[in-house]
Amino acid sequence: MSVKIRLQRHGKKGKPFFHIVVADSRARRDGRFIEKLGTYNPITNPATIELNVDSAVQWLNNGAQPTDTARAILSYKGALYKKHLQGGVAKGAFDQAEAEKRFNTWLETKESKVQGKVDGLATAKSDAKKAALEAEVKVNEARIAAAAQADADAKAALEAANAPAEEVATEGEAAAETEENTEA
């Protein structure tokens, strides 16, 4: 029986969610499995991966073959590196304590890189929000200024329309007075 470490798809259409499982290679993709090792959610940024590393290493040592995507996930979480370190312990290159120390330092650096990406995404998102808010404030200020200018133009036009009527009325009165003076 050939055993594979592979992904089992769950989730709605367009929103995939995967279980990382150990299954017989003859079983259907979403069918029977031997053991569930973890989950993988590619929708989040960065992708959320929960994996039982020790169990994955145990299955790798027993001869389970990961698929390409599962191999990438196992490498990302350090299961393949831990298997490599255990091979060094078996050969006598270093002891188990040194292997654990190396794995923990690798894990810390990996977590800091992931946290750096998360922080970078958060700052980029907040910067985008600030830029959008500033752009909206500028648009609102321009709209208010345009409305004020339109009111001022309307007021000036109204005053201009009222002023000639008064002047015409004053001129008419002056002409009527001149006519009365000439008649008298």
In this structure, the answer to whether residues 19 and 79 fall within a common structural domain is: yes
Write down the residue that tokens 């008298």 correspond to: 184
Instruction: State pLDDT tens for residues 13-57.
Output: 999 999 999 999 898 988 899 999 999 999 998 899 999 999 999
- Residue 68 maps to a domain: yes
Q: Look at residue 129 in the predicted model and tell me its pLDDT.
A: 93
- Residue 184 maps to a domain: no
In this structure, the answer to whether residues 60 and 81 fall within a common structural domain is: yes
Q: Which helix (H) or strand (E) holds 25?
A: none
Instruction: State pLDDT tens for residues 88-116.
Output: 999 988 898 999 999 999 999 999 999 99
Q: From 92, 114, 146, give the residue that closes a domain.
A: 92
Residue 169 has pLDDT above 60, yes or no: no
- Residue 177 maps to a domain: no
In this structure, the answer to whether residues 2 and 87 fall within a common structural domain is: yes
Please give the backbone phi and psi of residue 178, each rounded to the nearest 5 degrees, phi first: -65, -40
In this structure, the answer to whether residues 127 and 63 fall within a common structural domain is: no
In this structure, the answer to whether residues 20 and 37 fall within a common structural domain is: yes
Q: From 92, 111, 126, give the residue that closes a domain.
A: 92
In this structure, the answer to whether residues 40 and 88 fall within a common structural domain is: yes
pTM: 0.70
Spatial contact of 159 and 167, defined as CB atoms under 8 Å apart: no
Residue 167 has pLDDT above 90, yes or no: no
Start-to-end Cα distance in the chain: 132
Q: From 63, 92, 121, give the residue that closes a domain.
A: 92
Q: How far is CA 158 from the centre of its chain?
A: 53
Q: Look at residue 157 in the predicted model and tell me its pLDDT.
A: 86
pLDDT tier at 175, thresholds 50, 70, 90:
low
Instruction: Count the domains in the chain.
Output: 2
In this structure, the answer to whether residues 77 and 8 fall within a common structural domain is: yes
Number of helices followed by number of strands (H, E) in the chain? 4, 5
- Residue 114 maps to a domain: yes
Domain that holds residue 9: 1-92
Q: Cα separation of 59 and 69, whole Å?
A: 16
